[in-house]
C-alpha cells in the first residue's frame, strides 16, 4: 500500500489535532507509516508530518548528520524551502543530531511576537522511545488536572524549551516522534515539572 | 458521492493551509489565527468558516452532525450536510452522541460533548473588541498587550444603561487567563459548556478569515463584575411543551391560532430523544 495523500494524510492530521489538543497523549502513526516503506535517512513519522504540514507556502530546517540529503528529500516531497534556523516555520531535529545541535536549534527557533504569536516554529524531534526516559508532570490546557509522562533525554531539551516558552503566548510547539511511529505533542501552553526531581536541566534564571 | 469534486471539496493545498492554522490555534487558546479563507459554493454568512474547518478535518470514518440554531433540519444545516456528504460520502446523523464532528451555528448542543468529538462553531464576527475599536490593527495591538479595559468598559456601560448585562448572545469570555474571545452568537446559557470541555472546540470565521480554538480542559470564564455577576437566560418558570424539560435552553413561541405563548426546546434533536425515552419508560 502506497501513501494515499488524501486519506492517509487526513488521518495523520487528525492524530496531530488529538496530540496537540491533549498534550502528553500518545498517538500512533503505525498504519500510515507502513505505507511509506523503509526510510533510511529519517523516521517514517517525520516524513508523514512533513507531508501533512509542508508546502511551498512555508519553510523548514533539518538538523541532522545528513542534513543536506534529508533537506533535499523533504523539498522534493513537499516543494517547501529549506531556510536558516531563525526563519524556519518547521524544524526537524533528527535522531542523530548532537545534544549541542539540539540546544542550538531550540535556542534559535522563532517564537513569534505579541501581535503574531502564531509566527513561531513547530519543532519535530526524533527520539528513540516516547515512553521511556525522564518522568515529568504536565499541566495546562488540554490536560485534566495533571498527567505524568516519560520522555527521553529531558536534560538536553527541557531547559531550552522552558526558556523559549516563558512568555506566553510566545513560544514553540514540540512534537516528539519515535521509531515505533508514536507521537506526543507538548505545545507551548503545557507546564512541565520534574516528577520526583530527577530531571536536572540548565536553569537559566 | 460526487466524483467530480475532490474528497471534502478542497484541494490538498487548501486543507494544509487551514490545518496549519488550526494546529497553531489549538496551541494558543483563544487567539485568532489568520488563514486564507477560500471561496465556497454557499452564501457568505452561511457558515463558510465552520464549513472550511469541517472539510479540513473530515475523514471517511467520521459521522457528521450539522445544526443551525439548535435545528438539524433548517435549510442552512441541510445544505451544509449535503455538500459535505456529497463530497466525502460520510454518514450524517441528528444524534449528538453519535457524531464525531458537530458543526453548529449559534448553539452548543445540550447533550454533553465527549472526548472523541470535535465541536466546530460558525463565527460571523470573531473580534470581541470590534464594537468599540473598528481597526483590526488596533484590536490586534490590544490583544497583544492584554489591554482589555475597553471590553470591560463596554459591558459596564451596558449595565449602567440597562441595569443588567445586555448581551443576549456572544457574551465575551476570557480564555486561559490570557485572551478575550468571542464565543460566537451562542446564548449566555451555553457559555458554561465551553469551560473545561471534554471535547475540542474549534471556531471558524470565513469572511474575517480567522480560526481559533478551545482545547479540552481549558479555563473559559464569562466576563463579569463582582457586583454584577454573569447571569444566564433563565427558564425556571417554564418547561418545554414537548419533553417537559425546564433546565435547558428554551425558545418562546406563539401559538398561531390561540395567540398564547409556549416554550419549546431549542435543541430539537435532544428534545426528540427525551420524548422517545419517556415513551419507552412509560411503556414498561
Ligand atoms: Zn423539549
Q: State in Å: Cα A158 to ligand 1 middle.
A: 52
Closest CA–CA distance from residue A202 to any residue of chain B (Å) = 25
What pTM was computed for the model? 0.95
Tell me the count of A-B CB pairs closer than 8 A. 97
Does A111 have pLDDT greater than 90?
yes
Q: Give residue-wise pLDDT tens across range B33-61.
A: 999 988 777 766 667 999 999 999 999 99
Closest CA–CA distance from residue A183 to any residue of chain B (Å) = 15
Q: Residues, chain B, total? A: 284
Label each residue of A115-184 as H, E or C: CCCCCECEEEEECCCCCCCEEEEEECCCCCCCEEEEECCHHHHHHHHHHHCCCCCCCCEEEEECCCCEEE
**Confidence at B284, pLDDT banded by 50, 70, 90:** very low
Does A202 have pLDDT greater than 70?
no
Asked if A173 and B27 come within 8 Å (Cβ–Cβ), the reply is: yes
Judge whether B221 is closer than 8 Å to chain A, CB to CB: no
Active site residue B50: no
Active site residue B204: no
**Confidence at B159, pLDDT banded by 50, 70, 90:** confident
Asked if A142 and B59 come within 8 Å (Cβ–Cβ), the reply is: no
Q: Give residue-wise pLDDT tens across range B67-104.
A: 999 999 999 999 999 999 999 999 999 999 999 999 99
Taking the CB of residue A82, how many other CB atoms lie within 10 A of it? 17
Considering only residues A133 and A204, tell me which one the structure prediction assigns the higher pLDDT.
Answer: A133
Round to whole Å and give the CA distance between B29 and B178: 9
Closest CA–CA distance from residue B175 to any residue of chain A (Å) = 10
Catalytic residue among B30, B70, B204, B206: B30
φ, ψ of residue B181 in degrees (nearest 5): -135, 145
φ, ψ of residue B258 in degrees (nearest 5): -85, -20
Q: State in Å: Cα B135 to ligand 1 middle.
A: 43
Does A14 have pLDDT greater than 50?
yes
Which long-range contacts does B147-155 make (Cβ < 8 Å, 24+ apart)? B148/B180, B151/B180, B151/B223, B152/B223, B152/B225, B155/B223, B155/B224, B155/B225
Asked if A118 and B12 come within 8 Å (Cβ–Cβ), the reply is: no
Judge whether A125 is closer than 8 Å to chain B, CB to CB: no
Asked if B216 and A142 come within 8 Å (Cβ–Cβ), the reply is: yes
Judge whether A24 is closer than 8 Å to chain B, CB to CB: no
* Extents of the domains making up chain A: 7-131+152-191
Domains of chain B (ranges plus CATH)? 12-222 (3.40.50.11310), 234-284 (no CATH)
Asked if B29 and A21 come within 8 Å (Cβ–Cβ), the reply is: no
Q: State in Å: Cα B241 to ligand 1 middle.
A: 7
- pLDDT at res. A204: 41
For residues B71 and B124, the answer to whether their CB atoms sit within 8 Å is no
Does B26 have pLDDT greater than 90?
yes
> Smallest Cβ distance to A11: which of B15, B25, B59?
B59
Q: Which CATH superfamily is domain A7-131+152-191 in?
A: Bacterial phosphonate metabolism protein PhnH (3.40.50.11310)
Active site residue B243: yes
Amino acid at each position: 500500500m502506497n501513501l494515499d495523500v488524501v486519506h492517509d494524510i487526513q488521518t495523520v492530521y487528525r492524530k496531530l489535532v488529538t496530540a496537540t489538543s491533549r498534550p502528553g497523549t500518545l498517538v500512533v502513526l503505525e498504519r500510515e507509516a507502513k505505507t511509506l516503506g523503509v526510510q533510511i535517512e529519517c523516521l517514517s513519522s517525520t516524513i508523514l508530518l512533513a507531508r501533512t504540514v509542508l508546502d511551498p507556502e512555508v519553510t523548514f530546517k533539518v538538523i541532522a548528520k545528513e542534513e543536506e540529503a534529508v533537506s533535499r528529500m523533504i523539498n522534493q516531497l513537499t516543494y517547501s524551502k529549506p531556510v536558516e534556523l531563525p526563519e524556519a516555520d518547521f524544524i526537524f531535529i533528527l535522531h542523530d543530531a548532537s545534544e549541542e545541535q539540539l540546544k542550538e536549534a531550540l535556542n534559535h527557533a522563532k517564537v513569534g511576537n505579541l501581535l503574531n504569536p502564531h509566527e513561531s516554529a513547530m519543532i519535530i524531534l526524533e527520539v528513540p522511545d516516547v515512553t521511556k526516559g525522564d518522568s515529568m508532570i504536565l499541566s495546562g490546557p488540554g490536560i485534566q488536572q495533571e498527567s505524568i509522562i516519560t520522555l527521553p533525554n529531558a536534560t538536553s531539551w527541557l531547559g531550552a524549551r522552558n526558556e523559549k516558552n516563558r512568555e506566553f503566548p510566545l513560544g514553540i510547539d514540540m512534537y516528539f516522534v519515535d521509531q515505533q511511529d508514536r507521537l506526543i505533542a507538548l505545545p507551548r501552553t503545557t507546564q512541565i515539572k520534574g516528577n520526583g526531581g530527577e530531571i536536572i536541566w540548565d536553569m537559566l534564571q | 458521492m460526487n466524483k467530480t469534486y475532490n474528497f471534502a471539496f478542497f484541494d490538498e493545498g487548501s486543507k494544509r493551509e487551514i490545518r496549519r492554522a488550526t494546529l497553531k490555534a489549538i496551541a494558543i487558546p483563544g487567539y485568532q489565527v489568520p488563514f486564507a479563507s477560500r471561496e465556497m459554493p454557499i452564501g457568505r454568512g452561511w457558515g463558510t468558516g465552520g464549513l472550511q474547518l469541517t472539510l479540513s478535518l473530515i475523514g471517511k470514518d467520521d459521522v457528521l452532525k450539522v445544526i443551525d440554531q439548535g435545528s438539524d433540519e433548517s435549510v442552512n444545516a441541510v445544505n451544509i450536510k449535503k455538500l459535505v456528504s456529497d463530497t466525502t460520502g460520510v454518514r450524517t446523523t441528528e444524534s449528538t452522541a453519535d457524531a464525531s464532528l458537530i458543526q453548529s451555528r449559534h448553539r452548543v448542543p445540550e447533550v454533553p460533548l465527549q472526548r472523541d468529538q470535535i465541536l466546530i462553531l460558525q463565527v460571523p464576527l470573531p473580534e470581541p473588541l470590534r464594537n468599540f475599536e473598528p481597526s483590526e490593527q488596533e484590536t490586534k495591538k490590544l490583544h497583544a498587550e492584554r489591554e482589555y479595559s475597553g471590553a470591560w468598559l463596554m459591558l459596564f456601560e451596558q449595565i449602567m444603561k440597562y441595569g443588567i448585562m445586555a448581551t443576549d448572545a456572544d457574551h465575551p469570555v476570557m480564555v486561559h487567563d490570557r485572551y478575550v474571545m468571542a464565543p460566537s452568537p451562542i446564548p449566555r446559557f451555553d457559555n458554561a459548556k465551553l469551560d473545561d470541555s471534554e471535547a475540542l472546540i474549534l471556531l471558524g470565521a470565513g469572511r474575517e478569515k480567522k480560526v481559533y480554538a478551545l482545547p479540552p480542559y481549558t479555563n473559559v470564564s464569562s466576563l463579569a463584575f463582582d457586583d454584577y455577576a454573569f447571569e444566564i437566560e433563565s427558564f425556571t418558570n417554564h418547561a418545554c411543551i414537548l419533553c417537559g424539560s425546564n433546565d435547558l435552553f428554551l425558545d418562546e413561541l406563539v401559538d398561531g391560532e390561540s395567540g398564547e405563548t409556549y416554550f419549546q426546546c431549542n435543541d430539537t434533536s435532544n428534545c426528540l430523544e427525551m420524548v422517545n425515552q419517556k415513551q419507552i419508560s412509560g411503556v414498561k
